[in-house]
Amino acid sequence: MSHTGSGTVRPITVVGNPVLHHPCAPVEKFDEELATLIDDMFASMYAAEGVGLAANQIGVALRVFVYDCHDDDGVQHVGHVVNPVLAELPPDRRHLDDSAEGCLSVPGPHHELARPDYAVVTGFNLKGEPITVEGTGYFARCLQHESDHLNGQLYIDRLSKRQRKNVLAEMERMQAEKAAAAKTPATAE
């Protein structure tokens, strides 16, 4: 089941906001309020030009994420998972990919982060029906990244202290440049 396309764009929470740094609560009611949240999450993700979004990234501490993400074969995957559980992979399936990763809640910089190139998430759809989502490549990274969010972890929490510090400094520099550019009046030609 996909979203209705009628959601409201909500602001993205940014690193430092406590809702991003604590595990989210399980969804207990599969009702219209959940459907509205999922629609709002899709609208917010698309407005921010993201490929995945966890509920706590719009300030809601519930275990839900949405995605519209391609895999390495170019296949587009669109959906949501309620109360997701990321499966522990057997050692023979743990082939690491160290591609760059970014996050709407850490706006701007990207950094290489090794993650398995295959992921399986189980959970429920908005009707409360069990689902399993499997992903490879970039989509596997998305599933793992969004699952981390719901456990109160950002991708930068998986980096070394020095790498994390550099990413946060780069984020601040990029935000300052963006703010300065917004204040500079456009010149007429």
- What residues are labeled active site? 146
Contacts of 118 (CB under 8 A, 6+ apart): 89, 93, 95, 134, 135, 136, 140
Phi/psi of residue 82, nearest 5 degrees: -105, 135
d(CA 28, CA 107) in angstroms, rounded, equals 31
DSSP 135: E
Contact criterion met (CB below 8 Å) for 146 and 62: no
